[in-house]
Amino acid sequence: MHTVVMTKGVPDFREGKVAFDEDGHLERGNTPTVMNPNDEHALRAALQTRVRHGGRVSVMSMGPPGYEDVLQEAMESVYADDCYLVSDKQFAAADTWATAITLATAIEHLGEPDLVFAGFKTADGETGHTGPQTCWGLDIPIVTHVVALDIDPEERTLRAKRLVEGDIEEIETVETSLPAFVVADPEFEPSYRTARHRLERKRLREEARERAADIDEHVTYWDHEELNLDPDYVGLDGSPTIVSSVDPIPRAPAEREATEVDPTDPEALGEVVEELTPHAGGD
Amino acid sequence: MSNMDEVGFDSSAAVDGGESFEAVVVGGGPGGAAAAAVLAENGVETLVLERGVEAGSKNVSGGLLYAEESAPYTLDGLFPGFRDEATERPVTRNYMDNLADGKVHTVDLGGVHHHDTEWCDSVLRRPMDSWVAERVHERTVEAGGGLLTGVRVNGLLREGGEIVGVTCDELDPIRADLIVAADGVNSELARDAGLMDWDEPEEWFQGVKAVVDVPPEEVNDRFGIDDDEGVARLFAGDLFEGVRGGGFLYTNRDSLSIGTVFHLDSLAAERAEPQELLDALLTHPHLGQWLPDEYDEYDEREYSAKLVPDSKKVAHPSPHEGRLLLVGDAAGQMQAQGPIIKGMNHAVSAGGLAAEAYIEARNRRQPESAGERYERRLHDSGLYGKLRPRRYEALGRFGEREVVADAVDDLAGSRLGRLGVRIAGGVVERAFNSPFLLGALPDTRTAYATVPRVLAEELGEPVRGDNDADPPSLEERIGDLTYDTDVGNPHIELMDNSFEASGTAVTACPVSAEGFGGGCYREETVRANGDEERVVSLDTQPCVECGTCAVVADTEWTHPRGGKGVDFRQG
Ligand SMILES: Cc1cc2nc3c(=O)[nH]c(=O)nc-3n(C[C@H](O)[C@H](O)[C@H](O)COP(=O)(O)OP(=O)(O)OC[C@H]3O[C@@H](n4cnc5c(N)ncnc54)[C@H](O)[C@@H]3O)c2cc1C
Ligand code: SF4
């Protein structure tokens, strides 16, 4: 079983980490890059697969050199065997389409993996397109919003529970053949209910720690030549998306009007209830 | 999302009716480690389950690990490099300080200490147990199993009334041909099998301990020792308000382990607060010479507590049922040889013997005979004789009867008794150093309080020096501990909250106190329909999992789920 997990480095949006310029644009150079938080769920799903069925896990990312921290984090959390960084000036400023073409080519270049995992969406672009578009490029079945997985390596099938319309109240079970593409939902919870799985996870963790300490030895860099990609179809030139305008990220209102309410005053509380009632339907 | 478990797919093991290992060892303390090591060495596929985040994170001992010459197994025998890597200091000097009336009378306990002792090291349980557990994991992996932490075994898996495995909070049921319950003093497995109960306070001791930070060179300086030497001091006399028990101080590499061990029935009857008794020891002027003074402030690394079984009363003569074998504290195998406490070493021996018994039974194709063989080994190896000395049954128990106990106590405290002590001071010292006599010693005030008091008063020197130690308050002690709280999953349930049924827990619980609102147990007055009722209420969050309230109060008591609850760093 060969599993590939796609992960991306994104600006660290945690409070105090993000730097904006005067126009409210993000200053990438001054904002640390971290692993896209949603990819964690993809990584967990891949790890569960690896623990249960063995095989090899590769982490793939597209981005500038210097992504090693992100790859290292990915390697430690998924106990990956190897990492691939698709990196080339020609790939810069790619939209989701051009990114997907590049990644699909890179994944094919790896051989034919049995499973590809991607996170739900990135914390910066938030389109949620890259995964499905890459899958389109690979021409394999896709299951999105996956919250639980069961793989039968002999039958080469995958059963998944997925959220219907992203709603946790409604879950359907689907089945497809391998190879397949899985987009893990943030609700994905890996389950390790047997001792042997936990022991295997522990073994993998110990091995991965050693590998991650020498991350450089386990990263392969691929540029457009290696992937045999025409520069006209990747990066900015290969991106059909036209950005009409960029809005600065709205700052939180400096001051909001607040009325203090005495919690022991029934009349005041009655007013609060009256204020809230119109919104009770979920508006 | 709360119902995620239902969302996942059944793991294949659950569908097939559970996974199996040849042996499952529950508990990663010394007993479990020894059993697992011997099993694995003999090629038995062994799974070790430990509920703490790491082995040792739930464990507390005073801290003297004995390797007895007569013991069938020792930790350094099982794990080469153990003493270099996992212990603190070899203990080379042993004393008992009898304190009363501002005087101290010191007895050299070298005789009893060195008797049958190959070596004796001070230890801290977190570093010791976790070091051992790593080796156990390596070995059990080689035999096809391994050691998992963060898993609490919550019961026995039975089929047609027979024990066939274990059930856990975190894992699907696991079947095994051998189940070793090395799950310590509050063994849920022993209870599930109906082999041990926790009913009687007189069958238990409660230990409370503080690990005090002292730089290594200061330890050497204050005790006049080198790096490869250590000191053990025991304390008895008038500093514990007549509660039956005593104190200890052991030197570690760069800290001191200071604590008290009391008979739980006495602690409960006197409604004594364990943490206050510990403070009485920590702040006693006699201890000032060893504790950090006003220049280098007193810094407590950790406050901890635990129950200890009294093997003389509870060591199970036949600790097995079907495939289940109990070892160590789970079988009550904790020996209090007078003031000397030996539990870890016996747990190691018992673990090794249980493993041997199974291997022999399996080789003879009679796996069901493992329990019988284990029992025979416990008796033949002499271990059982140490745990439940016959002479105690004959003499000690007799001496504990109230009328006799009072008469002896009166005699010891009388003028005649005092005269005897003055004339025969050396005899008393010899008596303290006699393992034979200590084994027969009745558990009465006489031994713990009266004789030490008379010794100090009649033969003692005045205590000199000051004690500037300023131990933290109970609130600070609780605040300094690390917990992984498990809100919504209480592991203790109060069955009867009336003061009569559960009030003792307020004082006996080492993290609760009368008039203190921040512990586990609180006393409250409820007014209803013009009536007033004194009740007890419970909040399990600051619990150190000592198990005391399981004995002294009316509770449903279990351990917290794997990895949850208190996380000791020293032990
Ligand atoms: C204050 C004090 C002072 C002491 N002084 C000494 C001394 O100086 N020398 C000495 O030799 N002994 C001393 N003892 C006694 C000694 O600590 C015990 O006798 C010894 O630890 C027993 O070893 P064990 O392996 O049976 O159990 P433990 O060491 O208690 O190990 C039991 C293990 O099982 C785990 N466990 C429990 N329940 C479960 C479950 N359901 N599922 C999974 N895991 C579980 C626990 O987390 C723990 O790791 C002292 C004890 C106390 C409290
Ligand atoms: S609540 Fe019970 S088990 Fe917990 S510390 Fe108090 S007495 Fe011990």
Contacts for B223 with CB less than 8 Å, ≥ 6 apart: B231, B251, B290
pLDDT of residue A252: 60
Q: Report CB contact under 8 Å: B141, A199.
A: yes
**DSSP letter for each residue of chain A:** -EEEEE--EEE--STTT--B-TTS-B-GGGS-EEE-TTHHHHHHHHHHHHHHH--EEEEEEES-S--HHHHHHHHHHHT-SEEEEE--GGGTT--HHHHHHHHHHHHHHT---SEEEE-S--TTT----HHHHHHHHHT--EEEEEEEEEEETTTTEEEEEEEETTEEEEEEEEEEESSEEEEE-TT------SHHHHHHHHHHHHHHHHHHHTGGGGEEEE-TTTTT--GGGSTTTT--------PPPPPPPS--------TT-HHHHHHHHHHHGGGTT--
C-alpha to C-alpha distance for A273 and A94, rounded to whole angstroms: 50
Contacts for B535 with CB less than 8 Å, ≥ 6 apart: B497, B498, B499, B523, B524, B525, B526
What are the residues facing A2 on neighbouring strands?
Answer: A56
Mean pLDDT over all residues of chain A?
A: 84
C-alpha to C-alpha distance for B492 and B462, rounded to whole angstroms: 47
pLDDT of residue B286: 97
Q: Report CB contact under 8 Å: B148, A199.
A: yes
- Containing B50, the helix (H) or strand (E) segment is none
Which residues in chain A are contacts of B47 at CB distance < 8 A?
195, 199
Question: In angstroms, what is the span from residue B494 Cα to ligand 1's centroid?
Answer: 25
Low-confidence residues of chain B: pLDDT under 70: 1-6, 10-17, 294-295, 425
Query: Residue B258's closest CA among B280, B236, B282?
Result: B282
Q: Exposed, middle or buried: residue A117 (CB in 10 Å: 0-12, 13-18, 19+)?
A: buried
Question: In angstroms, what is the span from residue B111 Cα to ligand 1's centroid?
Answer: 26
pLDDT of residue B3: 42
Mapping DSSP onto H, E and C, the string for B475-527 reads HHHHHHCCEECCCCCCCEEECCCEHHHHCHHHHHCCCCECCECCCCEEEEEEE
For ligand 2, whether the C-beta of B565 sits within 6 Å is no
Query: Residue B322's closest CA among B180, B163, B153, B158?
Result: B163
Contacts for B408 with CB less than 8 Å, ≥ 6 apart: B399, B442, B444, B446
Contacts for B522 with CB less than 8 Å, ≥ 6 apart: B506, B512, B516, B536, B537, B538, B539
Tokens 């789970």 identify what position?
Answer: B330
pLDDT of residue B2: 39
Q: Report CB contact under 8 Å: B11, A191.
A: yes
Beta strands in B127-224 (DSSP E): 146-148, 153-159, 162-168, 174-181, 204-213
- Nearest-CB residue to A168 (from B1, B145, B172): B1
Q: φ, ψ for residue B225 (rounded to 5)?
A: -130, 165
3-state secondary structure of B461: strand
pLDDT of residue B160: 95
Q: Does A184 touch chain B (CB under 8 A)?
A: no
Mean pLDDT across the stretch A249-268?
73
Please give the structure tokens belonging to residue B258.
Answer: 């200071």
The 10 Å CB-count burial string (b at 16+, else e) for B467-485 is bebebbebeebbeebeeee
Contacts for B457 with CB less than 8 Å, ≥ 6 apart: B100, B101, B103, B418
Q: What is the CA radius of gyration of chain A?
A: 22
Please give the structure tokens belonging to residue B567.
Answer: 């996380």
Whether the upstream peptide bond of residue B309 has omega within 30° of 0, thus cis, is no
C-alpha to C-alpha distance for B204 and B263, rounded to whole angstroms: 6
Helices (H), B146-209: 188-192
Report the pocket of ligand 1 as residue ranges, CB < 6 Å: B 26-32, 49-52, 55, 58-65, 152-153, 182-185, 188, 207, 209, 259, 261, 306, 308, 328-330, 334, 341-345, 347, 559
The alpha carbon of residue B201 is apart from the nearest alpha carbon of chain A, in Å, by 37
Q: Report CB contact under 8 Å: B47, A195.
A: yes
- Nearest-CB residue to A198 (from B1, B8, B148): B148
Tokens 């001992």 identify what position?
Answer: B61
Q: Exposed, middle or buried: residue B545 (CB in 10 Å: 0-12, 13-18, 19+)?
A: buried
Q: Does B7 touch chain A (CB under 8 A)?
A: yes
C-alpha to C-alpha distance for A52 and A46, rounded to whole angstroms: 10
Work out the pLDDT band at A281, boundaries 50, 70, 90: low
- Nearest-CB residue to A193 (from B11, B137, B145): B11
Contacts for B382 with CB less than 8 Å, ≥ 6 apart: B70
What are the residues facing B148 on neighbouring strands?
Answer: B49
Q: Does A159 touch chain B (CB under 8 A)?
A: yes
Tokens 């623990």 identify what position?
Answer: A51
Q: Does A191 touch chain B (CB under 8 A)?
A: yes
Q: Report CB contact under 8 Å: A193, B172.
A: yes
Contacts for B544 with CB less than 8 Å, ≥ 6 apart: B304, B305, B306, B481, B510, B511, B566
Among protein residues, the one with the nearest Cα to ligand 1's atom 17 is B61
Q: Does A171 touch chain B (CB under 8 A)?
A: yes
Please give the structure tokens belonging to residue B292.
Answer: 């950090």
Within 10 angstroms of residue B463's Cβ, the number of other Cβ atoms is 20
Q: What's this model's pTM, rounded to 2 decimal places?
A: 0.90
Query: With 80 as the cut, is the pLDDT of residue A180 above it?
Result: yes
- Helices B125-142 and B30-41: crossing angle in degrees, nearest 10, is 20
Tokens 């921290």 identify what position?
Answer: A69
Question: In angstroms, what is the span from residue B557 Cα to ligand 2's centroid?
Answer: 9
Which residues in chain B are contacts of A194 at CB distance < 8 A?
11-13, 19, 171-172
C-alpha to C-alpha distance for A131 and A124, rounded to whole angstroms: 15
Question: In angstroms, what is the span from residue B306 Cα to ligand 1's centroid?
Answer: 9
- Interface with chain B: mutation pick from A172, A196, A204, highest number of B CBs within 10 Å: A196
Mean pLDDT across the stretch A227-239?
76
Which ligand 1 atom is the nearest neighbour of the CA of B344? Answer: 11
Helices (H), B369-473: 370-380, 383-387, 390-391, 397-400, 402-413, 415-423, 425-432, 435-440, 445, 451-459
Which residues in chain A are contacts of B172 at CB distance < 8 A?
193-194
pLDDT of residue A283: 47
Length of chain B: 571
C-alpha to C-alpha distance for B349 and B344, rounded to whole angstroms: 9
For chain A, the straight-line distance linking the first and the last C-alpha, in angstroms and rounded, comes to 47
Q: Report CB contact under 8 Å: B141, A196.
A: no
CA distances (Å), origin B445, targets A10, A264, B401, B410, B412:
70, 58, 12, 10, 10
C-alpha to C-alpha distance for A105 and B35, rounded to whole angstroms: 54
Q: φ, ψ for residue B236 (rounded to 5)?
A: -145, 170
High-pLDDT (> 70) share of chain A, %: 87
The per-residue pLDDT for range A131-163, each reduced to its tens digit, is: 777 878 788 999 999 999 999 999 999 999 999
Half-sphere exposure of B211 (CA within 13 A, CB side): 25
pLDDT of residue B1: 39
Q: In what order do the strands lie in the sheet with A219-222?
A: A167-177, A157-164, A142-152, A180-184, A115-118, A2-6, A56-62, A82-86, A219-222
The per-residue pLDDT for range A4-20, each reduced to its tens digit, is: 998 877 777 776 777 77
Q: Exposed, middle or buried: residue B570 (CB in 10 Å: 0-12, 13-18, 19+)?
A: buried
Which ligand 2 atom is the nearest neighbour of the CA of B509? Answer: 7
C-alpha to C-alpha distance for B401 and A262, rounded to whole angstroms: 65
What are the residues facing B157 on neighbouring strands?
Answer: B165
